Amino acid sequence: MEDIPFIQYGEAPVFYDHALIRPIMDHLRLAIKPRRMDALPGVIGPLYISRDAGMDHIMMKEQQQSKKYPLIHLYHWDRLKSFQRQQVKDRIVFLKKIKEMKPLYAIQEIRRVFYDKFASADFSGPATRHKDTIRETLDELESAAGKFATVEEMVKFADELSMKREKMTELLKQESPQGVHLMTIHRAKGLEFPCVYLLGASEGILPHEAALQDFAPEDVRAAQNMKGPDKEGILMKAALEEERRIAYVAVTRAKQELYVSSPAMHHGKTVAPSRFLIEAFKS
């Protein structure tokens, strides 16, 4: 937001381009600009229509006759069943509805009406933690949306961020790139920097909330082949200690200066500073 040069390490896209987030943002994009063709695939998918086949049909029909809402071409597509065509029509009405909403309310409505169900089916694996990650990521989007007054403002910011990401990718090709280096703690292992900013040292973030539960996730129990209350305690203690090791890696990346951020709010809820920080200062 302050236009500070940055270098993002790893293959992860900008948050708003994440596979789980992009379809929601594309609904917002089409709400303010119905003929934005690059946003159509993100809307077609949650209609349970093949993105590629749907786009091919739309582009073919657009060549014959352009429409204010190109999505309407799917309504007349004979390959779709009647209920699918009705969903297309309903989705266009829905896009018109959310255009004037606050971004936060628009995203909440998208989730409530269809997207949470779609994401649960399209992005979830058998592991419980995958579902937790989906919920966390969508909650994070809602938290970000609260910073914008209009849908247009949020879309503009997301588009600019994507362009900056492409620009900053070029910096990685330089021998000594100048800018803020963004990376996960795992990615930083083995590296050191004069100055390090550790973001998110709060309960539920570091340590992650998955390590603070009373019971280990089902997939973890299955992997360890453990049952019974005593085994649960062993698993959760091990999970917490792994989080402590991760925190140790983070703070020891700093050679000269270390700044630690401990947000008071996370996903709209009040959170305490990380126990790792409190324990360190107590000792």
What residues pair up with 258 in beta bridges, in sequence order? Answer: 196
Q: Among 153, 42, 137, 46, which Cα is nearest to 103's?
A: 153
Average pLDDT over residues 89-104: 95
CB 119 within 8 A of CB 138: yes
State yes or no: pLDDT of 184 exceeds 80: yes
Are 196 and 253 contacting, i.e. CB atoms less than 8 angstroms apart? Answer: yes
pLDDT-derived band at 218 (thresholds 50, 70, 90) equals low
CA distance 104 to 148: 8
- pTM of the shown model: 0.73
Taking only the tens place, the pLDDT of each residue in 242-273 is: 999 999 999 999 999 999 999 998 877 899 99
pLDDT range class, residue 124, cuts 50, 70, 90? low
Band of pLDDT at residue 37, cut at 50, 70 and 90 = very high
* pLDDT per residue as tens digits for the range 162-177: 888 887 777 777 777 7
Report DSSP state, residue 273.
B
Instruction: Name the one residue in this structure whose structure tokens are 């419980």.
Output: 128
Confidence of residue 225 (pLDDT cuts 50, 70, 90): low
Average pLDDT, the chain: 87
Determine the Cα angle at 25 with ends 21 and 27, to 5°.
120
Beta strands, E only, the chain: 6-8, 180-182, 193-198, 254-260, 265-266, 269-270
pLDDT at 220 over 60: no
> Residue 252 has which token pair?
């020891």
Percent of the chain with pLDDT over 70: 89
